[in-house]
Chain A
């Protein structure tokens, strides 16, 4: 099945620094979804990207979908301690069933 690789596995930043996580696939992705999981919590849906080259923003978070729909990125500007957690990308599949195939996630720690 579709494999989604996510890098880096870990990222440690000082509060105020920027952060980016990348999601890559060897084949074309249908739709990409991004989730955040706080330590000890459950994944929470952030956004879905559908179109080639799509860029969406949520406050300090910027999400991009590559032109070839084989990669995606999440960029956080000026991190805060509340950004701590694991960020997952997931291929939402090409059928109406919408099965999610998750990347391994990037664990973000923010030092105050």
Chain B
């Protein structure tokens, strides 16, 4: 059982370039989300999805797009990278309707540097 898989683990982009961060989970979780982590600021929600075809914005959505065509995959697209998007990005998923108080399962993260 792989859990949540993120690729790539590291990435360096030039300002203005675009790229897609991949996230896949094999636990049949309805809920998937993207967070960014910056020093001293905890984790901030970028976008989330409660099922295939349904996405919504979180706290810091500007400069990012998402789509959810399948239950398993939730890619995050950077449209035109800026140095302010240098961060560690985490994908997380959870079961929405389980009876146990379950937490979120996080991927191992993507460390992105924009120069």
Residue numbers of A with Cβ under 8 A of B are 1, 6, 9, 31, 33, 35, 41-48, 50, 88, 96-105
Contact = CB atoms under 8 A, between A and B. Distances in A.
Given A9-B40, A96-B96, A98-B96, A48 B103 contact: yes
A100 B35 CA distance: 10
Shortest beta-carbon contacts, A-B, top 9:
A45-B103, A48-B101, A102-B42, A42-B106, A102-B43, A104-B42, A43-B106, A42-B108, A42-B109
Give the size range of B's interface with the partner. 20 to 34
Interface of B: 31, 33, 35, 40-45, 48, 50, 58-59, 90, 92, 94, 96-97, 101-109
B103 A33 contact: yes
Nearest to B56: A97
A31 B94 CA distance: 15
